[in-house]
Amino acid sequence: MIPNHSFEADEHSSKPDKPEEACGVFGIYAPGEDVAKLTYFGLYALQHRGQESAGIATFEDETVHLHKDMGLVSQVFNESNLDHLPGNLAIGHTRYSTTGSSRAINAQPVVVQTRLGKIALAHNGNLVNTKELRQELLSRNCEFVSSTDSEAIAVAIGSEVDKGKDWLEAAISAFGMCRGAFSLTIATPKGVMGVRDPHGVRPLVIGTLPTTPVRYVLASETCGLDIIGAEFLRDVEPGELVWITEEGMASFHWSKQQKRKLCIFEMIYFARPDSQMEGESLYSYRLRLGRTLAAESPADADIVIGVPDSGIPAAIGFSQASGIPYAEGLIKNRYVGRTFIQPTQAMRESGIRMKLNPLRDVLDGKRVIIIDDSIVRGTTSRKIVKALRDAGATAVHMRVSSPPVTHPCFYGIDTDNQDQLIAATKSVAEIATLMEVDSLAFLSRDGMLKATNEDPKSFCSACFTGDYPIEIPEVVKRSKLILEKAAT
């Protein structure tokens, strides 16, 4: 039997009511530059991709300098410890845990010793065959210090190096052992690698510094290039390995089964709106989502507002298409972050006021359309609706610029088990009743994909359909797909 979804406090109530991205990665080869500081700023721009831990590894010839810890990038690093990270090349990582718990030992980059020297690795994504990979490596007498799939990739490369292969041969051999989503930056004494899995589920881009000779930068998103003045060159392609050394950048297509399946949630929510994908900012795509939503699901109202920050571009698009004025109805406290201090019971009952506060004089007496990018568990959405009504809204119509999330992700997004996804257990009408809205509508899957202006088949949208492009072992699938397990 499937448990009924509850809005009351439970073991999941402390989790953010949004999908959480796995990580941000960065890499740079730039002799003569302050690579640690450039990496710091790159990670600073990628902070939205993970807020649990951060780390930088630099290579000074054969010597690795590593600093990593729990916390935000600005908390982990300062001028002093950055000064102790000399070198010609670096990689960096900012993490939200998906495989491996949130502990300092699981912070990245991962560093592994090999016969050719040390290797450092930063990973965005999630393997689906971690257990089998670890067992294979343990049978080779390899050792592990953490519980992450990322360490398994690094150890696999090290194991191949120790068999007599060079860095490139070892890396390509190890990637053939990995199944799932992985965008990687890898540092060795010889150079830096940027790698994507054959489906390119997670993004990775290449930039150039305005130096002579040209130096190369890798980042999860183009915003990580912009902050240090690097110019976007191109994406690392699915199934590609780029090898950046003193000779420049070389490209190797290590997999012959490339078939792009970029995570559509990168477009909808994860990536920063100022990051570029396919020649335009994601802000532009999110505007189109809002316009499409207005065409599909209109409502009679006085104002359109967005849930800050991720719902705002779609709200502006909805306003443009509908002709209904856009207004700011909710103010976000951007400095709350994650606090370990529990609020009082009265504060908990007041809902979300620590992070979002309604503007009463904007909302009072108004029929409101509120736009959000997604609904996962629904807990936050219900509190927002209540706050709007308490501020005097006479009607609340909720519109969501993505389809209902009905399936968990296995490729690097931290989503609940299926029974905690409200759209997996309830109809749209039932969700509307629970949220106490006057109407509720989600964007269609076709509308979401058509708005990309790209081939719809080039995206992974498994969280909306259950159609997983990379085969998932049954034991892994059943760990989250509670509905399927209950039906058997």
DSSP string, 237-269: PTTEEEEEETTEEEEEE--S-----EEHHIIII
Helix (H) or strand (E) holding 282: helix 282-296
The neighbouring-strand residues paired with 396 are 368
Report whether pLDDT(328) > 80: yes
- pLDDT tens per residue across span 172-205: 999 999 999 999 999 999 999 999 999 999 999 9
Residue 127: predicted pLDDT: 95
Quick one: pLDDT at residue 8?
Answer: 31
pLDDT of residue 129: 95
The pLDDT-based confidence of 348 (bands split at 50, 70, 90) is low
Tell me the residue length of the chain.
488
Are 410 and 480 contacting, i.e. CB atoms less than 8 angstroms apart?
A: yes
Structure confidence at residue 10 (pLDDT): 35
With beta carbons less than 8 A apart as the criterion, state whether 186 and 243 touch.
no
Residue 479's pLDDT band (cuts 50, 70, 90): confident
pLDDT value, residue 95: 84
Say what the pLDDT of residue 339 is. 52
Please give the torsion angle defined by the CA atoms of residues 232, 214, 58 and 157, in that order, rounded to the nearest 10 degrees. 80
pLDDT-derived band at 96, boundaries 50, 70, 90: confident
User: What is the C-alpha separation between 58 and 379, in angstroms, rounded?
Assistant: 42
DSSP string, 169-195: HHHHHHHTT--EEEEEEEE-SS-EEEE
User: For residue 12, what pLDDT is reported?
Assistant: 40
**Quick one: pLDDT at residue 337?**
55
pLDDT at 412: 86
pLDDT tens digit sequence for 165-175: 999 999 999 99
Do residues 461 and 264 touch, judged by C-beta distance below 8 A? Answer: yes
Amino acid type, 42: G
* Residues designated catalytic: 23
Give the pLDDT mean for 439-459.
97
pLDDT exceeds cutoff 70 at 252: yes
Over residues 85-100, the mean pLDDT reads 84
CA 247 – CA 226 distance, rounded (Å): 24
- Which residue did the predictor score with more confidence, 350 or 85? 85
CA–CA separation, 304 vs 291, rounded Å?
12
Share of the chain above pLDDT 90, in %: 78
Cα–Cα dist 302/205, whole Å: 42
Q: Estimate the share of the chain in helix, then strand, then coil, as percent rounded to the nearest 5.
A: 30, 25, 40
Segment 408-435 mean pLDDT: 90
pLDDT band for position 62 (cuts 50, 70, 90): very high
User: What average pLDDT is seen over the chain?
Assistant: 90
Give the pLDDT mean for 83-88.
98
User: Could you tell me the pLDDT band of residue 338, with boundaries at 50, 70 and 90?
Assistant: low
Res 52 pLDDT > 70: yes
Q: Which residue has the tokens 């506060």?
A: 357
- When pLDDT is averaged across residues 353-362 and rounded to a whole number, the result is 89
Token pair in block for residue 182 = 């992985």
Question: Do 181 and 17 form a contact (C-beta atoms < 8 A)?
Answer: no
For the chain, how big is the Rg over CA atoms in Å? 23
H/E element, 484 = helix 482-487
Distance CA 303, CA 323 (A): 10
Q: Is 392 exposed, middle or buried (0-12, 13-18, 19+ CB in 10 A)?
A: middle
For the chain, give the longest Cα–Cα distance: 74
Instruction: Judge whether residue 365 has pLDDT over 90.
Output: yes
Compute φ and ψ for 446, nearest 5 degrees: -60, -40
For position 481, what pLDDT does the model report? Answer: 75
Predicted TM-score of the model (pTM): 0.90
Give residue for tokens 């399946």. 261
Question: Regarding predicted confidence, which is higher, 13 or 436?
Answer: 436
Beta strand 205-209 with 231-235 is antiparallel
Name the band, by pLDDT with cuts 50, 70 and 90, for residue 17.
low
Q: What is the structure's pLDDT at 54? A: 96
Measured in degrees and rounded to the nearest 5, phi and psi for residue 464 equal -100, -20
pLDDT value at residue 416: 66
pLDDT, average across residues 255-267? 93
